[in-house]
Structure 1
Amino acid sequence: VAAFMQDRLGPNRAGPFGLLQPLADGVKMFMKEEIIPNTSNKFLFIIGPSITMLTALMTSAVIPWGRDIKIGDQTYSLQVADINVGVLYVLGVVSLGVYGIMIGGWASNNKYSLLGAVRASSQMISYELAMGMSIIAIVLTSNSLSINDIVAQQSGWNGMQWNVFVQPLGCLIFIICAFAECNRTPFDLPECETELVGGYHTEYSSMKLGLYLFAEYINMFISSAMIAALFFGGYNFPFQDRLDGNVLAIVGFFVFFAKILFFIFFFMWVRWTIPRFRYDQLMRLGWQVLLPLSILNMLVVGAWQTFVK
């Protein structure tokens, strides 16, 4: 994607058309020398990347990847855990991820790492409020905290019942906050190379650095899945009433992943298009623009649900 944006050829030596390049890069990173600074807190230095990686993986448990598939008398769910507070679970687990960043930055005993960790935590607090408000508006319209129920509620009107058409402002706020939560450009101030060398993972190498970087991309994948599920119908698609049974479930599964891939492409597109914000601009956008807009959006939706519907 980066090569496409920059009108150049990407790395194409590993596998056909370079498709195995990410795997080759991962193997190379994990085989590099492991360096732990003498002045660091070794236990916390090791556990920091593990916390970030674990929380990134835990969020995938409540994502409904598709409808149930029936094989004989058995029904198989494409969701690990259909809990009735799935939205709260995702918000809570995502919030825990910043502890791994904060612990790693502090344990490195490096001023750049600590400053990057502080930036990450303040950015998470600033943008999670607006994200939560945009999700509350979705919960008000669907009357459920279950992600599966929210997806099912968007199944009508051949796609016109998707929440992106019902709440376009809430969708825009959620997408912007997702960029900030994932520390993606233009919100990548915690690892700003020109100011902080490498940010909170300046002192990390080999597998521990790989865990931080891999967790960032997992968070981007999960954020794309949440955007698709909450606002773009999840596994629902137009004219799906013409299909039924396992065919509908399989097509819906691939439709959901197509939506996820589109938003991953969008993440990468923005990365190579928009320059990084200054830190004061980042905070001002979160507190003075997105938070008031998200509260206004929530109040309008609440008033509509109470007095109009």
Structure 2
Amino acid sequence: AGLKLLLKEDIVPFKADPLLFTLGPIIVSIPVFLSYLIVPFGQNLAIANLGTAIFLWIALSSIQPIGLLMSGYASNNKYSLLGGLRAAAQSISYEIPLALAVLAVVMMSNSLSTLDIVQQQSGYGILGWNVWRQPVGFAIFCIAALAECERLPFDLPEAEEELIAGYQTEYSGMKFALYYLASYVNLVLSALLVSVLYLGGWNFPIPVEAIAGLLGVSETTPWLQVLTASLGITMTILKAYLLVFTAILIRWTVPRVRIDQLLNLGWKFLLPVALVNLLLTAALKLAFPIAFGG
């Protein structure tokens, strides 16, 4: 399919804006690939160890709606325009609860670095993962991430029965492929971030100290360090794979919601719950500083 799209003719509609029409898929796809800079696949195995990694990711994700709206407008097609407007409204609606859920994790970790967030979850095995201390934030992040990636039941911007293919209607060739590539790459990115923020990243369900004790060796044994580092990468990818599998399973089992239901869920339910969760996290952090990273 990729080779077919690569060889297909790149058609620009006669009355479309050629510059905006070309820039749309580029603006949508580049932030997704840049976001991989902050993902740690293993201990000290990140492309860039930035102290403001979470802030960078939130900033990059806010660029995407501009590209989607640009594509819908430039196509000179009513279905494309409606798809672009839906995509922009959906992204803005769910980006705020998503950011608030992540800020609760940042508050507990005292750091915007993804490496520090994973490190803060180590030491207690599965009991130290943020999913137990932030169950509401975890649920909000997963729902909002599905909406951000435009996966069912939130694929309103490209609903085939209503808008043909939404903002992608007039696209062909590699420009069309860029949208699909960005969608699936963004899904994998979201799964990796859930793994890093809530499921301990490269950490094992059993603490390394317990594994070393069972094997009767020291934690500083070279071969054990190499083994745990290699398995750590596998753990990060395995957790992400399970989340991607769940997203695909939801796609084939859950019906699509209406646009009013989607926006009501974001603004009237997820946003207030995310705000309360953030305030509650701040209160618990002050009351129980050891348990909540004070």
TM-score, scaled relative to structure 1? 0.87
Instruction: Name the counterpart of 1:58.
Output: 34
Q: 2:58 aligns with which of 79, 91, 94?
A: 91
Instruction: Name the counterpart of 1:251.
Output: 231
Instruction: Name the counterpart of 2:138.
Output: 171
Of 146-155 and 235-244, more deviation after overlay is shown by 235-244
1:170 corresponds to which letter in structure 2?
A: G
Q: How far is the alpha carbon of 1:246 from its aligned partner? A: 2.2
Q: 2:19 aligns with which of 43, 47, 58?
A: 43
For residues 71 and 8 of structure 2, the distance between their equivalents in structure 1, rounded to whole angstroms, comes to: 19
Instruction: Name the counterpart of 1:128.
Output: 95
Q: Percent same amino acid among aligned pairs?
A: 41
For residues 124 and 44 of structure 1, the distance between their equivalents in structure 2, rounded to whole angstroms, comes to: 20
Instruction: Name the counterpart of 1:18.
Output: none
Alignment of 1:1-309 (within 5 A): 25-68=1-44, 78-239=45-206, 240-241=208-209, 242=212, 244-309=224-289
Q: How far is the alpha carbon of 1:202 from its aligned partner? A: 0.3
Q: How far is the alpha carbon of 1:30 from its aligned partner? A: 1.5
Contact 2:107–2:282 (CA under 8 A) maintained in structure 1: yes
Question: Structure 1 unaligned runs (5+)?
Answer: 1-24, 69-77
For residues 210 and 48 of structure 1, the distance between their equivalents in structure 2, rounded to whole angstroms, comes to: 13
For residues 207 and 122 of structure 1, the distance between their equivalents in structure 2, rounded to whole angstroms, comes to: 26
Q: How far is the alpha carbon of 1:254 from its aligned partner? A: 0.8
For residues 146 and 268 of structure 2, the distance between their equivalents in structure 1, rounded to whole angstroms, comes to: 17
Question: Structure 2 unaligned runs (5+)?
Answer: 213-218, 290-294
For residues 195 and 230 of structure 1, the distance between their equivalents in structure 2, rounded to whole angstroms, comes to: 36
2:179 corresponds to which letter in structure 1?
A: Y
Q: How far is the alpha carbon of 1:307 from its aligned partner? A: 2.1
TM-score, scaled relative to structure 2? 0.92
Contact 2:43–2:115 (CA under 8 A) maintained in structure 1: no
For residues 138 and 262 of structure 1, the distance between their equivalents in structure 2, rounded to whole angstroms, comes to: 21
Q: How many residues align?
A: 276
1:260 corresponds to which letter in structure 2?
A: A
Cα-to-partner distance string for 1:146-176 (whole Å, 9 max, x where unaligned): 1110011011211111010111111000000
For residues 158 and 283 of structure 1, the distance between their equivalents in structure 2, rounded to whole angstroms, comes to: 38
For residues 135 and 45 of structure 1, the distance between their equivalents in structure 2, rounded to whole angstroms, comes to: 33
For residues 129 and 55 of structure 1, the distance between their equivalents in structure 2, rounded to whole angstroms, comes to: 18
Of 87-96 and 237-246, more deviation after overlay is shown by 237-246
**CA RMSD, 1 decimal:** 1.0
Q: Secondary structure at the match of 1:82?
A: coil
For residues 27 and 18 of structure 2, the distance between their equivalents in structure 1, rounded to whole angstroms, comes to: 15
Q: Secondary structure at the match of 1:160?
A: helix
Q: Secondary structure at the match of 2:80?
A: helix
Q: How far is the alpha carbon of 1:297 from its aligned partner? A: 0.8
Q: How far is the alpha carbon of 1:245 from its aligned partner? A: 2.1
Q: Secondary structure at the match of 1:64?
A: coil
For residues 129 and 115 of structure 2, the distance between their equivalents in structure 1, rounded to whole angstroms, comes to: 14
